[in-house]
Amino acid sequence: TQNIYILGIESSCDDTAAAVLHNGKILSNIVATQEVHKQYGGVVPELASRAHQQNIVPVIHQAIAKANIVKKDISAIAFTRGPGLMGSLLVGTSFAKSLAMGLDIPLIEVNHMQAHILAHFIKEDGFDQPEFPFIGLTISGGHTQIVKVSDYFAMEVIGETIDDAVGEAFDKSAKILGLPYPGGPLIDKYAQKGNPKAFKFPKPKVEGLNFSFSGFKTAVLYFIQRETRNNPDFIKENLEDICASIQYTIIGILTDKLKKAVKETGIKQIAIGGGVSANSGIRNALKEAEKKHGWKCFIPKFEYTTDNAAMIAIVGHYKFLKGEFSDFSTTAKARYKI
């Protein structure tokens, strides 16, 4: 049997990551999360590029050391070509090219959004892998997509946000409530003790399977402004109920569209990915849908749902098997369709 070792490199946003897979199994998965953005309440692209430049070599060294291999064992290098922040992508792309050239091994470009979906195929004990066809729902601070997945590389985006990503809806709502960035996990935490029906927020009307979250954030802002005018302590006194109501509405928006996607495609297997899939409310809603509608839902291990390089490496693994290698003249691509 063949020994395939893929080094994956991810640098599309604010996480510098490297991972090594052996025949599709994880040997190492290292992520350096950039703390510098916290104080600005969001990712600052210029600072992200610099931090990638600083972190990329130590992160790759760590991934190789933890995998207990040497550089010459590596069969190919897979890197995120896009989509993402241009400056961030350039760091990973240039580095991947140089390393592949130095080691004289193939270079494999990876679409970050495909990787979020194919992360479900990382071989992991105790985790089932979806069967084709299935519906992928990618939800994070940067993405909100519904994808029809017919095969590893036969994917079609059938719905996506026309403005903000769902993670932004969480984070911006949290910011309005005075919570630190990123506020998504905090909304989740407070929501667990609150009444989801205490306050009502409007759901946007968007065509087909698309999403819109910019109006939602504005609705939260107006609601808080109105209530705090009457009672300056409104947030403090109702934080749990407010968070629960916000989360309930956002999850309702997501599950409404998922139901529609299931109806339109006839596919009942749903595989989610992206940082927001850590949300306890969405997990519960999917479990309920399994019972109520006969869906089968797949939620990968947490470290494979947020931005990571293991998902880049698994795409690299499947492309390696097909012999699909990149030309060394390939360039980073900020906007890159699945």
Considering CB distances under 5 to 8 angstroms, the limit depending on partner class, which of Zn ion, ligand KG4, none binds residue 185? ligand KG4
DSSP H or E run through 21 = strand 15-22
Helix (H, G, I), strand (E, B) or coil at 78: strand
Considering CB distances under 5 to 8 angstroms, the limit depending on partner class, which of Zn ion, ligand KG4, none binds residue 32? none
**Could you tell me how many residues make up the chain?**
338
Map the footprint of ligand KG4 across residues 10-69, applying CB under 6 A: 13
Q: How far is the CB of 144 from Zn ion (least distance, A)?
A: 11
Query: Which member of 244, 306, 313, 317 binds ligand KG4 (CB under 6 A)?
Result: 306
The Cβ of residue 243 has, within 10 Å, a number of other Cβ atoms equal to 27
Considering CB distances under 5 to 8 angstroms, the limit depending on partner class, which of ligand KG4, Zn ion, none binds residue 10? none
Residue 94 assigned to a binding site: no
Q: How far is the CB of 81 from ligand KG4 (least distance, A)?
A: 16
Residue 184 assigned to a binding site: yes
SS (HEC) of 216-247: HHHHHHHHHHHHHHHCCCHHHHHHHHHHHHHH
The amino acid at 191: A
Token digits for 304? Answer: 């494979």
Residue 141 assigned to a binding site: yes
SS (HEC) of 90-118: HHHHHHHHHHHHHHCCCEEEEEHHHHHHH
300 is an interface residue for ligand KG4 by CB under 6 A: no
135 burial type by CB count under 10 A (0-12 exposed, 13-18 middle, 19+ buried): buried
Considering CB distances under 5 to 8 angstroms, the limit depending on partner class, which of ligand KG4, Zn ion, none binds residue 109? none
307 is an interface residue for Zn ion by CB under 5 A: yes
Taking contact as CB under 5 A, which single stretch among the options 1-9, 138-146, 235-243, 288-296 is the one that binds Zn ion? 138-146
92 is an interface residue for ligand KG4 by CB under 6 A: no
- The contact mask relative to ligand KG4 for 159-188 (x = CB under 6 A, - = no) is --------x--xx----------x-xx--x
Considering CB distances under 5 to 8 angstroms, the limit depending on partner class, which of ligand KG4, Zn ion, none binds residue 48? none
Alpha carbons 35 and 48: distance in angstroms, whole number: 10
275 is an interface residue for ligand KG4 by CB under 6 A: yes
Alpha carbons 187 and 65: distance in angstroms, whole number: 37
Considering CB distances under 5 to 8 angstroms, the limit depending on partner class, which of ligand KG4, Zn ion, none binds residue 318? none
136 is an interface residue for ligand KG4 by CB under 6 A: no
DSSP H or E run through 48 = helix 45-67
Exposure b/e, 95-126, CB count within 10 A at least 16 = b: bbbebbeebebbbbbbbbbbbbbbbbbbebee
Query: Where on the chain is the footprint of Zn ion (CB under 5 A)?
Result: 140, 307
Query: Where on the chain is the footprint of ligand KG4 (CB under 6 A)?
Result: 13, 140-142, 167, 170-171, 182, 184-185, 188, 274-276, 278-279, 306-307
Q: Per the annotation, where are the binding residues for Fe cation?
A: 112, 116, 307
Q: Per the annotation, where are the binding residues?
A: 112, 116, 138-142, 171, 184, 188, 279, 307
Q: Per the annotation, where are the binding residues for substrate?
A: 138-142, 171, 184, 188, 279
